């Protein structure tokens, strides 16, 4: 019984990684669009995008670490 609940928990935690991937894809898409519209501001746009992409990736890494810890409980 408990191992099934842990498996459900791991699945729910990994949805965070899915959300981070979708968010990162949207951010990169909008970055490419904005740089193509205004090439002079590419430095500011890219630096801001890298900061937010790092935050998104950290969220996905935390989710992965929690999932690995939960799998260790099985």
Q: Got the DSSP string for 19-55?
A: HHHHHHHHHHHHHHHHHHH-GGGHHHHHHHHHHHHHH
Q: How far apart are CA 38 and CA 69, in angstroms?
A: 45
Domain span at residue 18?
2-72
Residue pLDDT, tens place only, 47-63: 999 999 998 889 889 98
In eight-state DSSP terms, residue 74 is -
Residue pLDDT, tens place only, 9-21: 888 888 888 888 8
Total structural domains within the chain: 1
Answering whether pTM is above 0.75, one says no
Q: How far apart are CA 20 and CA 56, in angstroms?
A: 6
The CATH number for 11's domain is 1.20.20.10
20 contacts 53 by C-beta, under 8 angstroms? no
């Amino acid at each position: 019984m408990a191992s099934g609940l842990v498996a459900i928990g791991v699945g729910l935690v990994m949805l965070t990684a899915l959300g981070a991937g979708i968010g990162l894809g949207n951010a990169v898409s909008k970055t490419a669009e904005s740089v193509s519209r205004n090439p002079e501001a590419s430095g500011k746009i890219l630096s801001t995008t890298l900061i937010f992409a790092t935050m998104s990736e950290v969220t996905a890494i935390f989710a992965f670490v929690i999932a690995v810890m939960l799998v260790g409980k099985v």
